[in-house]
Structure 1
Amino acid sequence: MSAALLYPFIIVAGALQALGNSMNTQLRGQLVNPFLAASVSFLPIVFVFATLFLVMPTPLPGLDTLGGMPWYAPLGGVAGAVAVFGGLAFVDKVGAGPFNGLTLTANILTSLAMDSLGLFGLPGGGFKPMPWLGGLLMAVGVTFIARVTPGQDASREGASGDGASQETGHGLNPRLLYPFIVVAGALQAVGVVWNAQLRGALVNPWLAALVSFLPVVFVFVLVFLLRPKPLPRRTDLEGVRWWMPLAGLTGAVAVFAGLLFVDKVGAGAFNGLLITANLLTSVALDHFGWVGMKRVRAGASRLGGAALMVAGIVLISLF
């Protein structure tokens, strides 16, 4: 099969990844407790992949592949879940565009560092100037997307008649949250590499996805049992829409796409397509206020920042 035939699926996966972060935010708002929301978000993923594995249990791993599996490979889902939890807690505070822009930039810069240094079993490619120039363009682009302060938000929203501000913030100084979001993006990149190693060791992609997500559900359920408050009220639960618990599944499409397609289309093309679709969808979510997001018009700053990030992704993908 031609690798180009897989591109539409990867683009859809990137768009769903951005959509999933915003859907998780709405789920978090209705369920109140972030650990309960995370558990509800991830449980359908485990159910779906467990069902698929029971239906298609072969091929199974052998002792040779299991023996070569690094100890950290099953933790790839946990590393990637940090970004999902960040989306639950912070997307509505900083906006889909800035959140995804920061996580994507941290993700790609971490990926470049792992490729250059040969970390986690990757072949060390050494320093290549063009991909790092692309990373620099992405970093500049995300500063344009995330540059507006809450003070500007309040003043401009008050001046606009329709409640939608031009290039606005989201009510909390986003700079206080940026370090956590950057770390989440870096862990997301590490998680992709660990998941790929897990897929190689377990052979069966359904089993690999199941093993990747099981520790995530265990952690969130355990934390919720230890810290069960606050709990949602009846009025909160009545506000849960049918699509909110599906937030985790939308994001899991990108994880599973990585398990299946990275070795077929190449890491550069896969990440380039996935990130571009994610970024453009994020800006659109803010601009149109879809799935309950606060509206933030895609003015010159955001569109220019998105263009710089796409240019950076192209350099990284091609070189």
Structure 2
Amino acid sequence: MSAALLYPFIIVAGCLQALGNSMNAQLRGKMVNPWLAATVSFLPIVFVFTTLFFTMPTPLPTLDTLGKMPWYAPLGGVAGAVAVFGGLAFIDKVGAGPFNGMTLTANILTSLAMDAFGLFGLQAAGFKPLPWLGGLLMALGVIFIAKTGGKQDGGDEKGLGAKLLYPFIIVAGMLMAVGVVWNAQLRGALENPWLAATVSFVPVVFVFAFIFLLRPTPLPNRQDLAGVRWWMPLAGLTGAVAVFAGLLFVDKVGAGAFNGLLITANLLTSVALDHFGWLGMKQVRAGAPRLIGAAIMVAGIVLISVF
């Protein structure tokens, strides 16, 4: 199969990833307790991938491949889940455009650093100026997009409060990049992609469920639960499509093309979510700063993907 035939699926995965962040924000509002909301978001993922693994249980890993697996590989899902939880808790405060712009920029800059220095078992590629220039363009694009991010909250004070969340969002984006590498190593060791996806997400559910048991309040009331729409608990699944796409397709289309398509689709979908106020997001019109920022980020992604 031609690699180009996989591009539409990757683009859809990027769009779903952006939608999942906004869906998680709505789920968080109805579930009240963020740990309960995160548990509800990730449970369907484990159910779906476990069912698929039992349906297609082969191939299975060997003792040799398991012995070569790094200890941190099963934690790739946990690293990526930090960004999901950030979206669940913060995206309605900073806006879909600034949130996804910052996480994606931190993601790509961290990926460039891992490639350059050969971190986590990657082959060191050294410093390449054009991809790093692309990363700087992405950061510049985020500045343009985020300039209007605080205005949706209705005041300078709340806008400043939203900006205090930026460091956490940046760290979440960095962990997202690390999680992709760890998941790829997990996929190589376990061989079966459905088993790898299950193992990746089971610790996530365990962590969030455990924290919820430690902090079980507040809880949603009957009115809150009545406001839960059928699509809200599927937020985790939409984001899991991008994770699984990485497990399957990165080696077929190349990391540059995969991340370029995924991130571009995510970014443009995020700006559209804010502009039209879809999925209950507060409406923030895509004026000149946001459109310029999106264009600059796309230019940065092209430099990173091509060179």
Provide, for residues 203-261 of structure 1, a one-character-per-residue CA deviation record: whole Å limited to 9, x for no partner.
Answer: 00000000000000000000001100000011000000000000000000000000000
Letter in 2 for 1:89: A
Q: Does 1:208 align with 2:180?
A: no
- Contact 2:60 / 2:191 at 8 angstroms: preserved in 1? yes
Please report how far the alpha carbon of residue 175 of structure 1 lies from its aligned counterpart in structure 2 after TM superposition. Answer: 1.4
- Contact 1:94 / 1:170 at 8 angstroms: preserved in 2? no
Letter in 1 for 2:107: N
C-alpha distance in structure 2 between counterparts of 1:209 and 1:134, whole Å: 31
Letter in 1 for 2:121: G
Give the equivalent residue in structure 1 for 2:20. 20
CA RMSD after TM alignment: 1.4
C-alpha distance in structure 2 between counterparts of 1:148 and 1:236, whole Å: 30
- Contact 1:272 / 1:317 at 8 angstroms: preserved in 2? yes
C-alpha distance in structure 2 between counterparts of 1:308 and 1:70, whole Å: 37
Q: Does 1:75 align with 2:63?
A: no
Give the equivalent residue in structure 2 for 1:53. 53
Give the equivalent residue in structure 1 for 2:236. 248
Q: Does 1:218 align with 2:224?
A: no
| Structure 2 SS opposite 1:229 | coil
Give the equivalent residue in structure 2 for 1:133. 133
C-alpha distance in structure 1 between counterparts of 2:111 and 2:293, whole Å: 21
- Contact 1:59 / 1:203 at 8 angstroms: preserved in 2? yes
Give the equivalent residue in structure 2 for 1:303. 291
Normalised to the residue count of structure 2, the TM-score between the two structures is 0.98
Q: Does 1:176 align with 2:176?
A: no
Where in structure 2 are the equivalents of 1:131-210 lying within 5 Å?
Answer: 131-148=131-148, 150=150, 154=154, 173-210=161-198
Give the equivalent residue in structure 1 for 2:266. 278
Structure 2 vs 1, CA of residues 121 and 169 (structure 1 numbering), >3 Å: closer, same or farther? farther
C-alpha distance in structure 2 between counterparts of 1:220 and 1:287, whole Å: 32
Paired positions, count: 307
The correspondence for 2:251, drawn from 263, 283, 294, is: 263
Letter in 2 for 1:228: P
Please report how far the alpha carbon of residue 111 of structure 1 lies from its aligned counterpart in structure 2 after TM superposition. Answer: 0.1
Provide, for residues 134-162 of structure 1, a one-character-per-residue CA deviation record: whole Å limited to 9, x for no partner.
Answer: 0000000000000236468637xxxxxxx
Q: Does 1:100 align with 2:88?
A: no
Letter in 2 for 1:193: V
C-alpha distance in structure 2 between counterparts of 1:60 and 1:154, whole Å: 54
Normalised to the residue count of structure 1, the TM-score between the two structures is 0.94
- In structure 1, runs of 5+ residues without a counterpart are 156-167
C-alpha distance in structure 1 between counterparts of 2:288 and 2:149, whole Å: 16
Q: Does 1:36 align with 2:36?
A: yes
- Contact 2:138 / 2:296 at 8 angstroms: preserved in 1? yes
Give the equivalent residue in structure 1 for 2:3. 3
| Structure 2 SS opposite 1:232 | coil
